[in-house]
Amino acid sequence: MDRDNLPLLRVLEVSRDFDVSRPWLNRLLEGTQRQLLRAVDGVSLAVNRGETLALVGESGCGKSTVARLIVGLHAASQGRIEFDGIDLAAPGAQALRRRMQMIFQDPYASLNPRWRVRDIVAEPIRVLKLAASEHEVAARVAELLRQVGLVAEDGEKYPHEFSGGQRQRISIARALSGNPEFLVCDEPTSALDVSVQAQILNLMTDLQRGLGLTYLFISHNLAVVSHIADRVGVMYLGRLVELANAEDLFVQPLHPYTRMLLDAIPDLEMSGKARTPVAGEVPNPLDPPAGCAFHPRCPHANARCRRERPQVIVQGDAVVACHAVEERRL
């Protein structure tokens, strides 16, 4: 198969455990065991070149952990991640990481407050040695700042002189300065005002078109996701429950959890119409329910759902992990 038709990024059965046990001495005295929290549980997905894949879910569902696993801020406990067909954990694969960058959630924490903007944006250029001279670095920084809608003179300022939206533009400029092909965006707009969110999203779509970028877009905001995503993955308690094209998912969601999420979107035209409220709480991830993780909140759950963990099944263009869908009860 042609290399260009392969997905740019493949995540294969990846899990990540965090050790949340008490300190060693407490465990010894209290006689408790080590405690592991499985933040990501057997997630598989593929991101194609030039597309935007969005991951959505409630807080604590593991979507940010997936982002951090991909860029290498965490190591996977199980499974592997392939970039351009090469295992990222393989020796010598560090060079591949240069081709991906990350945009963070909080524009107030993601820029070093003691650095000038020009140094922040230039850091990847200097570290990856992408420019021959300081003069070239300065020219590239000015170009990047203009590209994200700032002016070259802004480089002399410090981050605290900018608003949240402008800071996020600086973050994007920094991410772009290493010439990446793949950007992991961890809730890049959730700390911003609604009006600024739209500007940043438009900037990101323009950049994607102009530079041929591939995005993995993490968000809990379905309105934002419907605006930017080509395909959408829905996560629940560390598991991927549904992955489908954005149009299909928003029109005809398969998994009961996805339906519940979509029902929760406020819609001015639907005022007065009866809606299914989001019922129940997310279970404690330290002690996930047996079988399907969603069964305590699911209106369609039966004995099999409580017992047996659903496998991912292909349903047209979509994949979904649900017994009810598989049994055509839904």
Partner 1 sequence: MAVAPGWWRRAWDHDLAWSFRHSPVTIVAALLTLACFGAAIFAPWLAPHDPFDLASLNLGDAFAPPAWSAGGQARFPLGTDDQGRDVLSTIMHGARISLGVGLAAVAFSALLGVSLGLLSGYVGGRLDAFIMRVADIQLSFPAILIALLVDGVARVALPRETHDSIAIPVLIFSIGISGWVQYARTVRGSTLVEKNREYVQAARVIGRSRFAIMLHHVLPNVMGPVLVIGTIHVGTAIITEATLSFLGVGLPPTQPSLGTLIRVGNDFLFSGEWWITVFPGLALIVLVLSVNLLGDWLRDALNPKLR
Tokens linked to 283: 């279970």
Select the residue interacting with partner 1 from 38, 64, 104, 294 (CB under 8 A).
104
Residue 174 interacts with partner 1 (CB under 8 A): yes or no:
yes
Task: Measure the CA–CA gap between 57 and 264, rounded to whole angstroms.
Answer: 12
φ, ψ at 308 (rounded to 5°): -115, 130
Which residue lies nearer to partner 1 by CB, 18 or 250? 18
Which residue lies nearer to partner 1 by CB, 128 or 270? 128
Residues 6+ positions from 292 with CB-CB distance below 8 Å? 298, 301, 305, 306, 308, 309, 310, 321, 322, 323
Select the residue interacting with partner 1 from 178, 283, 288, 289 (CB under 8 A).
178
Residue 61: DSSP 8-state: S
- Work out the burial of residue 280: count CB atoms within 10 Å of its CB; fewer than 13 is exposed, 13-18 middle, 19 or more buried: exposed
Q: How far is the CB of 238 from partner 1 (least distance, A)?
A: 21
Q: CA separation (Å) from 248 to 12, 160, 210, 218, 242?
A: 24, 42, 26, 19, 11
Single out the segment in contact with partner 1 by CB under 8 A; choices: 30-38, 65-73, 231-239, 278-286: 65-73
- Work out the burial of residue 313: count CB atoms within 10 Å of its CB; fewer than 13 is exposed, 13-18 middle, 19 or more buried: middle
Residue 97 interacts with partner 1 (CB under 8 A): yes or no:
yes
- Binding to partner 1 (CB under 8 A): which residues in 105-124? 105-106, 109-115, 123-124
Residue 75 interacts with partner 1 (CB under 8 A): yes or no:
no
- Binding to partner 1 (CB under 8 A): which residues in 179-218? none
Which residue lies nearer to partner 1 by CB, 101 or 147? 101
Which residue lies nearer to partner 1 by CB, 178 or 283? 178
Q: Which residues contribute to the site for partner 1 (CB under 8 A)?
A: 71-73, 94, 97-98, 100-102, 104-106, 109-115, 123-124, 127-128, 171, 174, 178
